[in-house]
Amino acid sequence: MMKSILNKKNVRLEITEINNQLQKLKLFSIHDITAAAEIAECIAQIHSHDLSQSNLPVRDARWAMGLIREHGSCEYKDEIISALEYMGKFERYNPMGGNEVIYNTFMAWNIEVLRWQGDCRSGHIGSYAWDIAAVINQANDPEFSDVFLESYMRHSGREPTLALLQPNLYYVQAAEAARANDFEKAVQTAREITGRHMFKTEAISGDTISRLGISGW
């Protein structure tokens, strides 16, 4: 009984702390490079809370595939879904063994309406890399990405790899293509992925990857 009461108190505390960080994020524009470090710090704080036991919907490759499949006017569904499936395998592959992707972090950026989440009740969860990718994709500025990633890694203690960042960048790109009903970029990237099994994103510079020591795995 006491354990149950403590768990409920802990959940309420986590929700309150997440909502406080979301309120801070609402003060920042995702296109303001001078705010990149503060945005990253807020998101790192949000991601420090484990919401894996919540009933919030998950944002991942399967969700992005569902958006594409349901889109009536997309004539490139098969190409985009093939690329999403490949990137899903790439994300889960681990040469050291194990292929679990953890979807337990609350997402700060609401990709469906292109703004910060309102609060915990209306949000969703996923891999922390999804949120990083969503913010980087929306800002679409290598200078922002450099400052944002450095600050996020410092405050979160996490070290995202290319095997996490690249797949999630494509999941986000496909989801945004479905939302905007504009598939040109998503199809172009899909062809790079299925043809070369990789793609080069302009949103993160090679200098940033090298400087921050972001590895392949």
What pLDDT score does 2 carry? 31
Determine the Cα–Cα distance for residues 79 and 169; give it in Å rounded to an integer.
Answer: 17
Fill in the amino acid letter for 92.
R
pLDDT-derived band of residue 97, with 50, 70 and 90 as boundaries? low
Greatest distance between any 2 Cα atoms in the chain: 57
Mean pLDDT of 26-30: 96
Strand ranges (E), the chain: 58-59, 105-106, 109-110, 115-116, 125-126
What pLDDT score does 121 carry? 87
pLDDT in tens, 112-156: 999 999 999 889 999 999 999 999 999 999 999 999 999 999 999
Residue 90 has pLDDT above 80, yes or no: yes
Q: First CA to last CA across the chain, in angstroms?
A: 43
Strand ranges (E), 35-108: 58-59, 105-106
Residue 205 has pLDDT above 80, yes or no: yes
Enter the tokens of residue 158: 């996490």
List the domains of the chain with CATH numbers.
Answer: 2-211 (3.90.1200)
Instruction: Compute and round to an integer the Cα radius of gyration of the chain.
Output: 17
Q: What is the pTM of this model?
A: 0.91
Mean pLDDT of 12-29: 93
Instruction: Please tell me the total number of residues recorded for the chain in this structure.
Output: 217
pLDDT-derived band of residue 83, with 50, 70 and 90 as boundaries? very high
Determine the Cα–Cα distance for residues 213 and 98; give it in Å rounded to an integer.
Answer: 23
Residue 8 has pLDDT above 70, yes or no: no
Query: What's the mean per-residue pLDDT of the chain?
Result: 89
Least reliable range by pLDDT among 40-44, 99-103, 123-127:
99-103
What pLDDT score does 51 carry? 85
pLDDT-derived band of residue 4, with 50, 70 and 90 as boundaries? very low
